[in-house]
Amino acid sequence: MYKVVRARMRALMCGTVCRVRSMRGDDGMVTSEYAMGIVAAVAFAVVLYKVVTSGAVSAELQAIVKRALDAKA
């Protein structure tokens, strides 16, 4: 009886683990994917920096900060 239960449990566990492993796919990124991710992040940072330091946005941000500092409670 014990051997039958043990064999059945092993079969059930193997089926569950095998299904989970097949659904998981890749475990992580490879080096080239990390490099592309870094390049994309740097490009986004450069674009964001250019937008924030542009004349119109910079003036608007300064106005917002000035209004916030001049506000009376």
pLDDT digits (tens, 9 = 90+) for 33-56: 889 999 999 999 999 999 888 888
Q: What is the mean pLDDT of residues 54-70?
A: 89
Closest CA to 37 of 29, 27, 49, 46: 29
Specify the pLDDT at position 71.
78
Q: What is the pTM of this model?
A: 0.45
Domain span at residue 27? 2-70
Q: Report how many domains make up the chain.
A: 1
Give the chain's end-to-end CA distance (angstroms, integer).
79
Q: Got the DSSP string for 7-33? A: HHHHHHHHHHHHHHHHHH---S--HHH
Structure tokens that stand for 39 in this block: 């390049």
